[in-house]
A and B are shown apart, each in its own frame.
Chain A
Amino acid sequence: MDTDRYISSCCTGSRSSSTTRTVGAVVSTLHRTRQRRAGNAIWSLVEGPASRPPSRFLRDSYAEVWETCAVPPDLRRATDLVVDTGRWKTESERYIGVGGRIRVRRPLTAANASGGGFDMAESQHTPITRAAIYARKSTEQQSADADAKSVTRQIADARTFAATKGWLVSDAHVYADDATSGAETAKLVNRQ
């Protein structure tokens, strides 16, 4: 099993051979580990060119992945593999990512996207798309419970949509209009 084969197996999640089954298990382990460590963040391996030596950040990332994935020593060629945050719908489905280029990402969490450990220049990847959510309930809705559910549902649906697009939604950019009209300034003042 050479490195390319290993990477390819990781990216497709195929289970057509014993090799890919092994890789699938490795990715599954990595998947669970990352979910425990970083909430919704999921790491996977993707192919990247060996066009330049890895930086310290890259080497640290490799080391972490090698350890987590239990990648055999003969496959630990750091310049051939990179780390990416990707999404696996299930273990058996294809990796959903923007493939083709070398990229290294820290888990897509609000904390590290704002600077904590995420090095945009070093990672050479496409920038994270940040998304804001706006939800508003209708004034026609009379029930307070229904209204709350409506806004809550809108936000949840919007988060799901953003997740499918691979966007980052920070809690600070989730806006909800709970039926306080812009003309009803008294209510707005009372909120302060």
Chain B
Amino acid sequence: MRDASRLSRRDGDEAFGELKAIAKAGVAVWFYQGATTFSFGSFSDNVVGFVRAEI
């Protein structure tokens, strides 16, 4: 998908949780806009992931 905000219309924390669930299932989530992958687990990843999913 383009970026993390594309996944869900829900709030950022819920969207981030959905992305985590997908990633935990073994799927590599790529955001083509920045050629980056979804990551989570560290403080910075979680905060940044939440923000990106929100906006």
Contact = CB atoms under 8 A, between A and B. Distances in A.
A135 B32 contact: no
Given A161-B30, A161-B32, A135 B9 contact: no
A33 interface: no
A154 interface: yes
Interface residues on A, range: 10 to 19
Interface residues on B, range: under 10
A73 interface: no
Interface in B9-54: 9, 30, 32-33, 35
Contacts of B9: 136, 139, 181-182
Contacts of B2: 135, 154, 157-158
Nearest to A179: B9
Contacts of B6: 134-136, 154
